[in-house]
Amino acid sequence: MILILLGPPGSGKGTQAKRLGVEEKWPHLSTGDMLRSAITQGTQLGLKAKTFMDQGLLVPDEVVIGLISERVQQVDCKNGFILDGFPRTIPQAVALGVMLNALSLHLDRVFSFEIKESELINRLCGRRTCPKCGAMYHVESVPPLQDMICDQCGTGLVQRADDQIDVVQRRLKVYQQETAPLVDFYRKEGRLICLDAAQSANAVALELKKALTA
Ligand code: AP5
């Protein structure tokens, strides 16, 4: 099964992709995570990406298309994968179609995560993440047991640089301009399923599963 989770920053794509990936044993392909890992490793690509990400702008298409193109050819992707944060522009969506055709794979479903902007600001500004194991928290809705310490590995939690309010606002604007048109793009292809992403994470997971088995 090949799935795209499409939605604005903070709509819960990463939360659901992680969960579904573990349950179904499908690799979770997050371009955001790949880029952050390149930044941590200090690679050339990471240095280039950081200048865009810190400002809440999209990394150039050719960079992320190259990353995904390499990743989907790896052996663990042959039975399917979950795309989280890719594609994010029409040229990326077109490139994905070409990539999948060349590998004789096909896209099964695109889930559009629908939610109000005011809720997204609260989710993103309150998010805290573990830099070691990637576990995710929220200061109000999913607080760690001990303040700013990861429940799973005991590492100090951090706030992502792009979760500061001014950068969040830029990311939301960029989403509307560059990524929202993909909703119509995939609706026209007949692959779109809309989800109410304002529900609890458990309720969203249930809706997703139902749509997958329908
Ligand atoms: P990326 O890392 O992909 O960030 P994003 O798409 O902006 O999405 P987020 O990770 O912020 O949110 P999410 O929807 O995954 O929500 P989450 O589950 O974390 O990209 C970062 C940057 O990388 C981009 O700005 C760009 O610069 C670059 N980039 C990445 N891909 C690119 C591409 N293809 N092209 C070009 N540039 C690219 O949840 C958020 C919070 O809400 C958490 O605290 C969570 O606990 C909480 N939460 C989740 N679900 C619920 C729920 N149902 N109810 C209550 N709280 C919830």
**Alpha-carbon dihedral angle through residues 83, 176, 163, 65, given to the nearest 10 degrees:** 40
- Residue 157 CB–ligand 1 contact under 6 Å: no
pLDDT at residue 59 in the model: 98
Cα–Cα distance, 16 to 13 (Å, whole number): 5
**Alpha-carbon dihedral angle through residues 113, 119, 122, 128, given to the nearest 10 degrees:** -20
Q: Give yes or no: 171 in active site.
A: yes
* Residue nearest atom 8 of ligand 1, based on CA coordinates: 9
Number of Cβ within a 10 Å radius of residue 71: 17
- Residue 204 CB–ligand 1 contact under 6 Å: yes
pLDDT at residue 203 in the model: 97
Q: Compute the distance from residue 37 Cα to the ligand 1 centre, in Å.
A: 15
Cα–Cα distance, 65 to 88 (Å, whole number): 10
Q: Give yes or no: 78 in active site.
A: no
Shortest CA distance to 172 belongs to which of 116, 128, 97, 105? 116
Kindly list the distances between the CA atom of residue 151 and the CA atoms of 12, 16, 72, 94, 135, in Å, as whole numbers in the listed order: 20, 19, 32, 41, 9
Q: What letters, b where the CB count within 10 A reaches 16 and e where it falls short, cover 172-209?
A: bebbeebbeebbebbeeeebbbbbebbeeeeebbebbe
* 8 Å CB contact between 53 and 59: yes
Segments of the chain scoring below 70 in pLDDT: none
pLDDT at residue 2 in the model: 97
* 8 Å CB contact between 155 and 51: no
Q: Compute the distance from residue 91 Cα to the ligand 1 centre, in Å.
A: 20
pLDDT at residue 152 in the model: 96
Kindly list the distances between the CA atom of residue 88 and the CA atoms of 139, 152, 207, in Å, as whole numbers in the listed order: 28, 31, 23
pLDDT at residue 134 in the model: 87
pLDDT at residue 214 in the model: 82
